[in-house]
Chains A and B, each alone.
Chain A
Amino acid sequence: MKKKSILVAASVLGLSLLTACNSTDNKSQAESTGDSGVRTIKVATGHTSKPLSWVDENDEVTGYEPELIKELDKVLEDYEFELFGVEDSAGETGVATGKYDMLAGGLGFTEERAEQYIIPSESSGRALIKIYVAEDSGIEGIQDLVGKKISPLSPAGATYKTVKDWEEENPEFKLEYDLADVGIPIADRLKEVATGKYDALFYPSSYGQIEIIEDQKLPVVGLDPVKIIPTFFMIHKSEENEELKQAIDEGLKELAEAGVLSELSTEFYAEDVFQYD
Chain B
Amino acid sequence: MFDLAASYEMFLGILGVLPETLLIAITILVLSTLLGVVLALIQQYKIPVLVQLTKLFKLFLRGTPMVVFLYLMYYALPAIGQFIVTLLGIDYNMNNMSPLVILIVTVSLTLSAFQSEIIRGSFLAVDPGQIEAAQSLGYSFSQTFTRIVAPQAFVHAIPDFANSFTVAIKATSLGFLITVIDIFAQAKIMAAQNFRFVEAFMMVALIYWGIGILITKFSDRYENDVRIK
On A, residues with C-beta under 8 Å from B are 89, 92-93, 96-97, 110, 112-113, 116, 152, 155-157, 160, 178-181, 183-184, 188, 195-197, 237
Interchain CB contact (< 8 A) of A116 among B1, B177, B179, B192: B1
Chain B contact residues (Cβ within 8 angstroms of A): what range?
A: 20 to 34
C-alpha gap A116/B197 in the complex (Å): 11
Are B195 and A116 in touch, CB under 8 angstroms? yes
Are B198 and A93 in touch, CB under 8 angstroms? yes
On B, residues with C-beta under 8 Å from A are 1, 74-75, 95, 99, 176-179, 181, 185, 188-189, 191-198, 201
Are A89 and B197 in touch, CB under 8 angstroms? yes
Known contacts A112-B194, A152-B179; is A179 also within 8 Å of B189 by CB? yes
Contacts of B192 in A (CB 8 A): 155-157, 160
Interchain CB contact (< 8 A) of B195 among A113, A181, A188: A113
Describe B's contact surface by its main secondary structure.
helix
CB nearest to A152 among chain B residues: B179
Contacts of B191 in A (CB 8 A): 89, 156
Contacts of A92 in B (CB 8 A): 195, 197
Contacts of A93 in B (CB 8 A): 197-198, 201
Contacts of B188 in A (CB 8 A): 89, 155-156, 181
C-alpha gap A190/B221 in the complex (Å): 52
Known contacts A155-B192, A156-B188, A160-B192; is A180 also within 8 Å of B177 by CB? yes
Interchain CB contact (< 8 A) of B198 among A96, A179, A195: A96
Contacts of B197 in A (CB 8 A): 89, 92-93, 96
State how many angstroms separate the Cβ of A269 from the closest Cβ of chain B.
Answer: 24
CB nearest to B178 among chain A residues: A180
C-alpha gap A183/B99 in the complex (Å): 14
Interchain CB contact (< 8 A) of A112 among B95, B176, B178, B195: B195
C-alpha gap A97/B199 in the complex (Å): 12
Interchain CB contact (< 8 A) of B1 among A96, A152, A156: A96
Contacts of B176 in A (CB 8 A): 179-181
Contacts of A178 in B (CB 8 A): 99, 179
C-alpha gap A237/B124 in the complex (Å): 60
Contacts of B178 in A (CB 8 A): 180, 184
21 A/B residue pairs, CB under 8 Å, sorted by A:
A92-B195, A92-B197, A97-B198, A110-B195, A112-B194, A112-B196, A116-B1, A116-B196, A155-B188, A155-B189, A155-B192, A155-B193, A156-B192, A157-B192, A179-B181, A180-B176, A180-B179, A181-B176, A184-B74, A196-B95, A197-B95
Known contacts A96-B1, A152-B179; is A181 also within 8 Å of B185 by CB? yes
CB nearest to B189 among chain A residues: A155
Are B194 and A181 in touch, CB under 8 angstroms? no
Contacts of B201 in A (CB 8 A): 93
State how many angstroms separate the Cβ of A216 from the closest Cβ of chain B.
Answer: 15
State how many angstroms separate the Cβ of B223 from the closest Cβ of chain A.
Answer: 31
State how many angstroms separate the Cβ of B187 from the closest Cβ of chain A.
Answer: 10
Contacts of A157 in B (CB 8 A): 192
Given A89-B197, A181-B176, 19 more pairs with CB closer than 8 A: A89-B191, A93-B197, A96-B198, A97-B1, A110-B195, A116-B196, A152-B179, A155-B193, A156-B188, A157-B192, A160-B192, A179-B181, A179-B185, A180-B176, A180-B177, A180-B178, A180-B179, A181-B188, A184-B74
Most chain A CB within a 10 A radius of its CB, from B99, B188, B191, B192: B192
CB nearest to B67 among chain A residues: A183
Contacts of A181 in B (CB 8 A): 176-177, 185, 188
State how many angstroms separate the Cβ of B111 from the closest Cβ of chain A.
Answer: 21
Contacts of A197 in B (CB 8 A): 95
C-alpha gap A141/B49 in the complex (Å): 58
C-alpha gap A181/B181 in the complex (Å): 9
Contacts of B75 in A (CB 8 A): 188
Contacts of A156 in B (CB 8 A): 188, 191-192
State how many angstroms separate the Cβ of B90 from the closest Cβ of chain A.
Answer: 19
State how many angstroms separate the Cβ of B34 from the closest Cβ of chain A.
Answer: 29
